[in-house]
Amino acid sequence: MKISLIGYRGTGKTTIGAKLAEDLHLGFIDADQLLQERAGRKISEIFATDGEPVFRQLEADLIHELANSKESFVLSTGGGVILRPENRAALQSAGPVVWLKATPRTICTRLKLDSATAHQRPALLAETKPDHTPEEQMLYEVTTLLARREPFYQETASFDVTTDERDETQIVREILEKLVDLKIQSHR
Ligand SMILES: Nc1ncnc2c1ncn2[C@@H]1O[C@H](COP(=O)(O)OP(=O)(O)O)[C@@H](O)[C@H]1O
Ligand SMILES: O=C(O)C1=C[C@@H](OP(=O)(O)O)[C@@H](O)[C@H](O)C1
Ligand SMILES: [Mg+2]
């Protein structure tokens, strides 16, 4: 069984996944980190050199492999994993799927503070607004993509957890409570 974390960039999938795994005494895999290790390149380099479709194929192959492995672990995914129907199905078949939510403002604040952002996280929208400041452009990208992706997160998730103005401990506690509820419901 895998417990997968999905959600937009900066909602805390990598951070919360590691803590959740620790609390549950389970292994932890961050799909993006494993993909980068195997490729020997940062995701931003893969995007820049080969383009997004090549990254999405590497991502889909890895999700397929991980979802079908026999091990139990917590799996943090990349924000765009829900774009492909085969990824959504693979994650659902592997176990509970937790959707971490945050508002566009929270996401932008976190990404601005995150040192990994500049090196690792490629810009995802080709469309740029010439009259926008970098901050406005980022908020525009996050708001636009979040609206587009929300139905897919919703469709894939077993439940969601809001992360705005909450620390790791509170978020992990709510995930654990909801996992228990899910188990109780499945036994009814
Ligand atoms: N609940 C939280 N409150 C404040 N900052 C957070 C929280 N969760 C994550 N962060 C910070 O936000 C940034 C992005 O987190 P990360 O776990 O990499 O998100 P994701 O994997 O979803 O992109 C990191 O700098 C992280 O420390
Ligand atoms: O939202 C996306 O499409 C992406 C999110 C990133 O992962 P995080 O959500 O961990 O930042 C990473 O997979 C890649 O840059 C694409
Ligand atoms: Mg991550």
> 3-state DSSP helix/strand/coil percent for the chain, to nearest 5?
60, 10, 25
What is residue 133's predicted lDDT score, i.e. its pLDDT?
Answer: 87
From the centroid of its chain, how far is CA 101? 10
List residues near ligand 1 (CB under 6 A): 7, 9-15, 76, 110, 113-114, 163, 166-168, 171
Full domain range(s) for residue 76: 2-165
* One pLDDT digit (tens) per residue for the chain, 188 residues: 999 999 999 999 999 999 999 999 999 999 999 999 999 999 999 999 999 999 999 999 999 999 999 999 999 999 999 999 999 999 999 999 999 999 999 999 999 888 766 666 677 666 777 888 888 888 999 999 999 999 999 999 999 999 999 999 999 999 999 999 998 877 76
| Domain total in the chain | 1
Is residue 182 in some structural domain?
A: no
Is residue 184 in some structural domain?
A: no
pTM of the full predicted structure? 0.95
Is residue 108 in some structural domain?
A: yes
What is residue 17's predicted lDDT score, i.e. its pLDDT?
Answer: 98
From the centroid of its chain, how far is CA 126? 21
- Which tokens go with 156? 């894939």
Q: Tell me the C-alpha distance between 68 and 47, whole Å.
A: 26
Is residue 171 in some structural domain?
A: no
Is residue 174 in some structural domain?
A: no
Given the CA of residue 7, which atom of ligand 1 is nearest to it?
A: 22
Question: Which ligand gives the minimal distance to the CA of 80?
Answer: 2
Is residue 186 in some structural domain?
A: no
Q: Tell me the C-alpha distance between 66 and 101, whole Å.
A: 23
What is residue 77's predicted lDDT score, i.e. its pLDDT?
Answer: 98
What is residue 120's predicted lDDT score, i.e. its pLDDT?
Answer: 60
What is residue 71's predicted lDDT score, i.e. its pLDDT?
Answer: 96
Answer yes or no: is the C-beta of 121 below 6 A from any ligand 2 atom: yes
Given the CA of residue 167, which atom of ligand 1 is nearest to it?
A: 1
Is residue 40 in some structural domain?
A: yes
Is residue 177 in some structural domain?
A: no
The domain spanning residue 44 has which CATH number? Answer: 3.40.50.300
